[in-house]
């Protein structure tokens, strides 16, 4: 990588391109890596060519020569044309590609062919991944189309340099209320994102403060344009989060009412200003009417009114509005057990289905609460049949250890994407709703909150890079298995030593259940310190002393979300899932306390009582965290010191934090329930 920082393997991530030392593979395949033929010369194609040249040079110690045509055997061809013997090019979408080893009568070559130059770029990264994982190149026949149209990263960066929910240092985009001058690092970030197929980014926090509000003004648009150019060269479109009250804060209007003609005209003029500077600008990301953010509710308007007004301003330029559905009244009194934050998104947006313009996309969090280690899936998926929608994940580990703990999230996301909504009967998983195929949406996809900062290794915890890599690969192809994604990342990042691959793969696969074991049990959620969300606080609640999310008393624990006796939340699902969650007998144990308030003596399907499950898992979680450290210690000397020490130090922190969770959670519920641990372990 070309960054002026300390360009170590930690910084390079999965684009390490380590020198190939295995003679057998190199002897069989090096013949393919000596010449690169480039037929098109767009900026994106130049990015593909440069990546191939630099990577092959690093891996083989030989720089490939460049040519304009295939004139001999054993060359790599980069092209978007149809005249190179590649079949099925018409079956590709705009980002799709074919990688083929072509053996014709007079020559053999490897073709990296895309429908567009973007496809060639993605093919180039895929080809390099094949080399990193030591795939034989003699008979390649790969065709790829991304499943999702929008494959997006949301930065929660602030212009003072801080990052909301950032656990890996400061922003790589902003410092001291200005744009950074280190554009090389942004380029390296673009490379990382493009290598896993991400094609859209919003560069600032959805909670837009006073300075960030001015990003759409002449003061900062030239800087936005410089960043957009970097991302454009790697096939990534740039978006901005905007302040809904901008007409008042930037203009001289006294209202932001979306039905006011002056407001509507203000946004139309503002859109012209933005597109004049950035002609391929993606559009606006909007958080409105939630957690004290301004929005159309102020004027007795709804979310369709608010988003459609912005959509009309962007429509002439091909821009879109991404409107977040994380909307709830954060000042509700949670002592009322009929009040339920989980209901909010569905209650707000389901009645508006079909009222949004074609260039509005609703962005829906994967669960109805807030990226918990375990929660139900949002019932909005499948309920909105006439509205464009994007699923939102959180790569940054806000509630899953904040990148001080190892928590690999790909298995969780796989479960979410595979969840059957029954929206069109059995066989309607979330992954087929958000890719637009179920309801034939015009716009669709998946977005996630980024986990990177300016730490040398990007993600704070070296192994947290796996979440960013895995996110990109999974949203490109949700049918990939966790094992495939994990194997790719480990081998590309740490090499092909069998013990290294085995130990890190096992650590990653085990880490989410381990984190869940010593933190919040059976889907009840939260139990973290307010505001910063790190560490155990059983009664922790964000906004006031109005209550908790678990409703534990001396008799039992859990949130009653049933129709029969609770908040009625279960009715938001289609019948098959509603019935499953409504009944204690059929509700999955891992979500029991999300949907039901039960006695501590209630027996789980395992035969263990709820209280004993709490005790057991919290003791087990500590032992499992110690086990992670023991696995990592076996790799000392096999991994460079910087990366080894980073993970070792954080695993020690994880062990100590796991002990705190164990002691605080178990003590709380022992004192609350008065029930002893059956195994007579020490509970303070």
> Which positions are catalytic?
291, 370, 398
The two tokens of residue 226 are 């410089």
DSSP symbols for 146-209: -S-SEEEEE--B-TTS-BTT--SSS-SSEETTEE-S-HHHHHHHHHHHHHTT--EEE-S-SS--
| Dist. CA 376–CA 367, nearest whole Å | 6
Of 486, 475, 530, give the one whose Cα is nearest residue 510. Answer: 486
The two tokens of residue 52 are 């191939």
Residue 216, number of CB atoms within 10 A of its CB: 24
Q: What is the DSSP letter of 30?
A: G
Q: What is the DSSP letter of 600?
A: T
| Dist. CA 48–CA 507, nearest whole Å | 33
Q: What is the DSSP letter of 99?
A: E
- Helix, strand or coil, per DSSP, at residue 110: strand
Residue 366, number of CB atoms within 10 A of its CB: 26
The total number of residues written for the chain in this structure: 684
Q: What is the DSSP letter of 219?
A: T
The two tokens of residue 172 are 């790589």
The two tokens of residue 33 are 């890596």
Residue 547, number of CB atoms within 10 A of its CB: 16
Of 352, 375, 306, give the one whose Cα is nearest residue 524. Answer: 375
Distance between alpha carbon 240 and the CA centroid of its chain, in Å?
Answer: 17
Residue with tokens 């259940």: 513
Residues with Cβ < 8 Å from 502, sequence gap 6 or more? none
| Secondary structure of 425-480 in HEC code, one letter for each residue | ECCCEHHHHHCCCCCCCCCEEEEEECCCCCCCCCCCCHHHHHHHHHHHHHHHCCCC
Cα-Cα-Cα-Cα dihedral sign, residues 501, 506, 511, 512: positive
Residue with tokens 């060269």: 233
The two tokens of residue 283 are 């559009």
Beta strand residue intervals within 357-441, DSSP E: 360-365, 389-394
Q: CB of 77 within 8 A of CB of 84? A: yes
Residue 608, number of CB atoms within 10 A of its CB: 16
Residues with Cβ < 8 Å from 415, sequence gap 6 or more? none
Residue 205, number of CB atoms within 10 A of its CB: 25
Bridge partners of 201?
A: 153, 238
Q: What is the DSSP letter of 51?
A: H
| Dist. CA 112–CA 632, nearest whole Å | 38
Bridge partners of 109?
A: 102
Q: What is the DSSP letter of 282?
A: -
Phi, psi values for residue 200, rounded to 5°: -150, 145
Rounded alpha-carbon distances, angstroms, from residue 9 to 17, 37, 226, 640 = 9, 29, 27, 8
């Amino acid at each position: 990588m070309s960054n002026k920082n300390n360009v170590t393997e930690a910084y390079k991530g999965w684009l390490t391109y380590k020198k190939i030392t295995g003679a057998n593979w190199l002897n069989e395949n090096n013949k393919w890596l000596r010449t690169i033929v480039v037929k098109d010369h767009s900026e994106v194609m130049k990015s593909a060519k440069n990546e191939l040249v630099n990577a092959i040079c690093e891996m083989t110690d030989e720089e490939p020569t460049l040519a304009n045509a295939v004139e001999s055997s054993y060359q790599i061809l980069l092209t978007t044309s149809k005249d190179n013997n590649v079949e099925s090019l018409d079956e590709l979408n705009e980002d799709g590609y074919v990688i083929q080893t072509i053996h014709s009568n007079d020559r053999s070559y490897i073709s990296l062919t895309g429908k567009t130059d973007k496809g060639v770029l993605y093919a180039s990264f895929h080809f390099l991944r094949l080399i990193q994982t030591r795939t034989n190149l003699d008979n390649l026949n790969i065709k790829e189309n991304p499943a999702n149209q929008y494959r997006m990263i949301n930065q929660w960066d602030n212009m003072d340099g801080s990052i909301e929910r950032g656990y890996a240092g400061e922003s790589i985009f902003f410092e001291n209320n200005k744009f950074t001058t280190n554009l090389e690092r942004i380029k390296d970030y673009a490379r990382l994102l493009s290598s896993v197929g991400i094609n859209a980014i919003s560069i600032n926090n959805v909670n837009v403060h006073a300075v960030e509000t001015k990003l759409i003004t002449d003061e900062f648009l030239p800087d936005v344009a410089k960043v957009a150019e970097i991302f454009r060269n790697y096939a990534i479109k740039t978006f901005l989060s905007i302040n809904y009250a901008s007409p008042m804060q930037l203009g001289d209007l006294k209202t932001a009412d979306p039905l006011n003609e002056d407001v509507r005209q203000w946004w139309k003029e503002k859109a012209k200003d933005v597109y004049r500077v950035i002609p391929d600008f993606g559009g606006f990301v909007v958080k409105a009417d939630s957690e004290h953010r301004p929005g159309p509710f102020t004027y007795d308007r709804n979310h369709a009114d608010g988003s459609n007004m912005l959509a009309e301003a962007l429509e002439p330029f091909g821009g879109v509005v991404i409107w977040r559905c994380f909307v709830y009244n954060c000042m509700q009194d949670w002592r009322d057990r009929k009040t339920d934050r989980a209901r909010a998104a569905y209650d707000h947006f389901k009645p508006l289905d079909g009222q949004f313009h074609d260039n509005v996309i609703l962005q829906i969090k994967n669960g109805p609460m807030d990226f918990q280690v375990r929660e139900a899936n949002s019932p909005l998926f499948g309920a909105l049949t006439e509205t464009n929608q994007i699923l939102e994940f959180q790569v940054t580990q806000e509630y899953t250890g904040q990148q001080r703990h190892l928590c690999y999230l790909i298995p969780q996301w796989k479960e979410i994407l595979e969840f059957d909504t029954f929206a069109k009967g059995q066989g309607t998983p979330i992954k087929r709703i958000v890719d637009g195929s179920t309801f034939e949406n015009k716009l669709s996809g998946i977005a996630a909150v980024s986990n990177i900062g300016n730490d040398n290794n990007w993600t704070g915890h070296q192994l947290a890079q796996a979440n960013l890599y895995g996110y990109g690969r999974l949203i490109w192809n949700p049918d990939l298995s966790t094992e495939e994604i994990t194997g790719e990342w480990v081998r590309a990042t740490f090499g092909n030593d069998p013990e290294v691959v085995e130990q890190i793969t096992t650590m990653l696969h085990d880490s989410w259940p381990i984190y869940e074991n010593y933190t919040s049990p059976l889907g009840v959620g939260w139990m973290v310190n307010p505001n910063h969300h790190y560490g155990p606080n059983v009664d922790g609640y964000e906004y006031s002393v109005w209550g908790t999310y678990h409703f534990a008393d001396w008799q039992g624990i859990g949130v009653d979300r049933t129709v029969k006796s609770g908040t009625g939340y279960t009715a938001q699902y289609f019948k098959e899932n509603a019935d499953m969650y409504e009944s204690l007998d059929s509700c999955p144990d891992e979500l029991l306390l999300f949907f039901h308030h039960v006695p501590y003596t209630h027996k789980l399907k395992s035969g263990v009582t709820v209280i004993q499950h709490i005790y057991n898992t919290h003791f087990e979680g500590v032992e499992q965290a110690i086990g992670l450290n023991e696995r990592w210690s076996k790799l000392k000397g096999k991994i460079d010191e910087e990366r080894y020490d980073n993970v070792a130090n954080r695993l020690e922190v994880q062990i100590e934090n796991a002990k705190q969770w164990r002691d605080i959670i178990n003590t709380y519920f022992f004192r609350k329930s008065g029930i002893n641990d059956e195994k007579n372990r020490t509970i303070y």
